[in-house]
Structure 1
Amino acid sequence: MHVQSEVLVSLIVLLLQIGRQVTADLQGYKTVEVAVRQPLFCYDCYEVEKNCQSLANLTAIKVTKCRDYERFCKVRRINNRKSQTVFERTCSPDCTPGCTTMLFRTQCVSCCTTDKCNSDNSVQRHHVTWHWTLVAALLVLITNVM
């Protein structure tokens, strides 16, 4: 038991010496300030509100403070086979711009990272119809068969 208490005392003394050395080493360093990211604000609406697509009256559209992990303002446009177009503007944690077409539905997304930047309809410029997707798929099949 006496040996254990001597080892314990030696460990405590060693830890105190290490603590003093670390404190002495840190005295020459300045305080580092960490930059805090400002919150992002995005327009937040869905096609139910008619102003969401046309943006004729920006003051009628709700502006949302994004959560800390939401780094993008996003505009999403969905076209279906009945020629119905739905717009969504929102905050998003991730965002991949571009268009995808599956069967009779095309979804286009645009992304931005400044306050209320999702105010345009830039996704309209990236329209890809299902016809061209079908043609591309047929060309791939034909080239693979030959």
Structure 2
Amino acid sequence: MRRLLIPLVTVSILALGGCATNKRKDDLTTTLNAYASTVRWGDFNSALNFVDPKVREEHPIPPLEMSRYQQYKVSGYDEGNGPTPNGEFEAKQVVKINLVNVNTQAERTVTDHQTWRYDAESKHWYLETGLPDISAGKL
């Protein structure tokens, strides 16, 4: 009986580990889709909620800089090949965001290099790299 118990326990532990990994992947997909939708609508104030709270606390965005996001309408959001896993609790993604200046109607593209980290405590994916940098000097 003991001979059967050890393999059964081992298989059960491996299966549960696989379930956790699949759940994290599904959560990442859900989070990335929600973030993309938020940015597509140009709602950068809500997009800020996807940024890791520790990053927001250490690097707060001044109101003047947040107001710059209101100068632009998002005309495109292209995830390219989607996220690339970087270990068990991190994913990277490169996104091209097309922005139209509401004052000049000039369009430009920002390349946003995103790093997403899974927080096991809150069971949530957070954006580590902050909101896309839309300042003219970075394009």
Normalising by structure 2, we get a TM-score of: 0.29
Structure with more helix by fraction: 2
Normalising by structure 1, we get a TM-score of: 0.28
Structure having the higher Rg: 1
